[in-house]
Protein backbone atom coordinates (compact mmCIF):
# COMPACT_ATOMS: atom_id res chain seq x y z
CA UNK A 1 0.00 0.00 0.00
CA UNK A 2 1.19 3.45 -0.82
CA UNK A 3 1.19 6.37 1.55
CA UNK A 4 -1.66 8.03 -0.37
CA UNK A 5 -3.90 4.96 -0.01
CA UNK A 6 -3.32 4.98 3.74
CA UNK A 7 -4.14 8.71 3.94
CA UNK A 8 -7.46 8.52 2.11
CA UNK A 9 -9.68 7.01 4.86
CA UNK A 10 -8.38 9.57 7.35
CA UNK A 11 -8.94 12.61 5.12
CA UNK A 12 -12.69 13.07 5.84
CA UNK A 13 -11.98 12.91 9.57
CA UNK A 14 -9.14 15.40 9.22
CA UNK A 15 -11.36 17.76 7.20
CA UNK A 16 -14.09 17.51 9.87
CA UNK A 17 -11.52 18.25 12.58
CA UNK A 18 -10.30 21.30 10.69
CA UNK A 19 -13.82 22.57 9.99
CA UNK A 20 -15.26 22.05 13.48
CA UNK A 21 -12.05 23.10 15.20
CA UNK A 22 -11.87 26.46 13.47
CA UNK A 23 -12.45 29.61 15.48
CA UNK A 24 -15.39 30.61 13.28
CA UNK A 25 -17.20 27.28 13.73
CA UNK A 26 -16.78 27.30 17.49
CA UNK A 27 -17.93 30.93 17.66
CA UNK A 28 -21.07 30.08 15.64
CA UNK A 29 -21.87 27.06 17.84
CA UNK A 30 -21.30 29.14 20.99
CA UNK A 31 -23.62 31.87 19.65
CA UNK A 32 -26.30 29.26 18.94
CA UNK A 33 -25.93 27.79 22.44
CA UNK A 34 -26.22 31.27 23.98
CA UNK A 35 -29.34 31.98 21.91
CA UNK A 36 -30.82 28.62 22.96
CA UNK A 37 -30.09 29.36 26.63
CA UNK A 38 -31.79 32.74 26.30
CA UNK A 39 -34.84 31.03 24.75
CA UNK A 40 -34.84 28.43 27.52
CA UNK A 41 -34.70 31.15 30.14
CA UNK A 42 -37.28 33.54 28.68
CA UNK A 43 -39.85 30.93 27.62
CA UNK A 44 -41.13 28.82 30.56
CA UNK A 45 -39.92 25.24 30.35
CA UNK A 46 -41.96 22.07 30.98
CA UNK A 47 -45.16 23.75 32.10
CA UNK A 48 -48.64 22.44 31.23
CA UNK A 49 -49.64 23.06 27.63
CA UNK A 50 -52.59 25.20 28.70
CA UNK A 51 -50.15 27.86 29.88
CA UNK A 52 -48.40 27.90 26.49
CA UNK A 53 -51.75 28.04 24.67
CA UNK A 54 -52.91 30.93 26.87
CA UNK A 55 -49.66 32.88 26.45
CA UNK A 56 -48.85 32.19 22.78
CA UNK A 57 -52.09 30.95 21.26
CA UNK A 58 -52.77 27.53 19.80
CA UNK A 59 -50.54 28.01 16.75
CA UNK A 60 -47.73 29.46 18.89
CA UNK A 61 -47.91 26.53 21.28
CA UNK A 62 -47.75 24.04 18.41
CA UNK A 63 -44.78 25.86 16.87
CA UNK A 64 -42.94 25.93 20.19
CA UNK A 65 -43.62 22.23 20.75
CA UNK A 66 -42.51 21.17 17.27
CA UNK A 67 -39.29 23.17 17.59
CA UNK A 68 -38.78 21.72 21.10
CA UNK A 69 -38.57 25.19 22.62
CA UNK A 70 -40.82 24.12 25.50
CA UNK A 71 -38.01 21.82 26.67
CA UNK A 72 -34.86 23.46 25.25
CA UNK A 73 -32.30 21.93 27.58
CA UNK A 74 -33.51 18.38 26.90
CA UNK A 75 -34.10 18.84 23.18
CA UNK A 76 -32.20 16.86 20.57
CA UNK A 77 -30.93 19.98 18.80
CA UNK A 78 -29.51 21.44 22.05
CA UNK A 79 -27.70 18.17 22.75
CA UNK A 80 -26.34 18.28 19.19
CA UNK A 81 -25.02 21.79 19.82
CA UNK A 82 -23.30 20.61 23.01
CA UNK A 83 -21.81 17.70 21.08
CA UNK A 84 -20.56 20.00 18.30
CA UNK A 85 -18.96 22.34 20.82
CA UNK A 86 -17.27 19.41 22.57
CA UNK A 87 -16.08 17.97 19.27
CA UNK A 88 -14.76 21.38 18.21
CA UNK A 89 -12.85 21.76 21.47
CA UNK A 90 -11.48 18.24 21.12
CA UNK A 91 -10.29 19.04 17.61
CA UNK A 92 -8.59 22.18 18.97
CA UNK A 93 -6.77 20.01 21.49
CA UNK A 94 -5.73 17.52 18.82
CA UNK A 95 -4.49 20.26 16.47
CA UNK A 96 -2.18 21.61 19.15
CA UNK A 97 0.37 19.26 20.67
CA UNK A 98 -1.07 18.74 24.17
CA UNK A 99 1.92 16.73 25.33
CA UNK A 100 4.38 19.62 25.24
CA UNK A 101 4.99 21.35 28.55
CA UNK A 102 4.16 24.84 27.24
CA UNK A 103 0.69 23.63 26.09
CA UNK A 104 -0.37 22.16 29.43
CA UNK A 105 -2.56 25.19 30.32
CA UNK A 106 -4.26 25.07 26.92
CA UNK A 107 -4.89 21.35 27.36
CA UNK A 108 -6.24 21.69 30.91
CA UNK A 109 -8.63 24.53 30.09
CA UNK A 110 -10.06 22.93 26.94
CA UNK A 111 -10.33 19.45 28.45
CA UNK A 112 -12.07 20.83 31.56
CA UNK A 113 -14.66 22.55 29.35
CA UNK A 114 -15.20 19.23 27.55
CA UNK A 115 -15.64 17.58 30.96
CA UNK A 116 -18.31 20.16 31.90
CA UNK A 117 -20.06 19.63 28.54
CA UNK A 118 -20.15 15.87 29.13
CA UNK A 119 -21.81 16.53 32.51
CA UNK A 120 -24.35 18.87 30.90
CA UNK A 121 -25.07 16.29 28.20
CA UNK A 122 -25.58 13.52 30.76
CA UNK A 123 -27.80 15.80 32.85
CA UNK A 124 -29.92 16.64 29.80
CA UNK A 125 -30.51 12.93 29.21
CA UNK A 126 -31.10 11.92 32.82
CA UNK A 127 -33.75 14.26 34.14
CA UNK A 128 -34.77 13.14 37.58
CA UNK A 129 -36.66 14.63 40.45
CA UNK A 130 -34.99 17.47 42.25
CA UNK A 131 -35.84 19.44 45.32
CA UNK A 132 -34.52 22.67 46.81
CA UNK A 133 -35.56 24.09 50.15
CA UNK A 134 -35.24 27.81 50.91
CA UNK A 135 -35.53 28.85 54.56
CA UNK A 136 -35.99 32.12 56.38
CA UNK A 137 -33.09 33.10 58.58
CA UNK A 138 -29.45 34.05 58.73
CA UNK A 139 -26.91 32.35 56.51
CA UNK A 140 -23.17 32.56 56.97
CA UNK A 141 -21.40 32.86 53.67
CA UNK A 142 -17.66 32.45 53.03
CA UNK A 143 -15.41 35.31 54.15
CA UNK A 144 -17.70 36.15 57.09
CA UNK A 145 -20.57 37.70 55.14
CA UNK A 146 -24.01 37.35 56.69
CA UNK A 147 -27.06 36.96 54.48
CA UNK A 148 -30.51 37.60 55.92
CA UNK A 149 -33.28 35.88 54.02
CA UNK A 150 -36.89 37.01 54.21
CA UNK A 151 -38.07 34.47 51.67
CA UNK A 152 -40.83 32.18 52.86
CA UNK A 153 -39.95 28.49 52.89
CA UNK A 154 -40.34 27.36 49.33
CA UNK A 155 -39.86 23.92 47.87
CA UNK A 156 -39.11 23.68 44.16
CA UNK A 157 -39.63 20.29 42.59
CA UNK A 158 -38.51 19.27 39.13
CA UNK A 159 -40.72 16.85 37.25
CA UNK A 160 -39.29 13.65 35.85
CA UNK A 161 -40.08 12.87 32.26
Q: Is 149 inside any structural domain?
A: no
**Taking the CB of residue 71, how many other CB atoms lie within 10 A of it?**
16
Query: Residues of 6-39 as b/e, b for ≥16 C-beta within 10 angstroms?
Result: eeeeeeeeeeebeebbeeebbeebeebbeebeee
Q: Is 151 inside any structural domain?
A: no
Q: Is 68 inside any structural domain?
A: yes
Q: Is 78 inside any structural domain?
A: yes
d(CA 117, CA 105): 18
For residue 157, give the nearest of 123, 136, 130 by alpha carbon: 130
Convert the pLDDT of each residue in 11-59 to its tens digit. Answer: 777 787 788 888 899 999 999 999 999 998 888 888 888 888 888 889 9
Provide the domain count of the chain: 1
* Bridge partners, residue 134, by sequence: 154
Q: Is 132 inside any structural domain?
A: no
Q: Is 100 inside any structural domain?
A: yes
* Cβ contacts of 131 within 8 Å, gap of 6 or more: 155, 156, 157, 158
Domain that holds residue 72: 3-127
Convert the pLDDT of each residue in 118-161 to its tens digit. Answer: 888 787 777 654 545 555 555 545 554 444 444 444 444 445 55
Q: Is 40 inside any structural domain?
A: yes
Amino acid sequence: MSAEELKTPIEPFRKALNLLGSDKSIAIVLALIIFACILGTVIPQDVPKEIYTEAYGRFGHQALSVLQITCVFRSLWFRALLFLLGFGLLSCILKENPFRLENIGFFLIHSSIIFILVGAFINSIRVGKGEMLFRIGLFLLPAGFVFLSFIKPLVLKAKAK
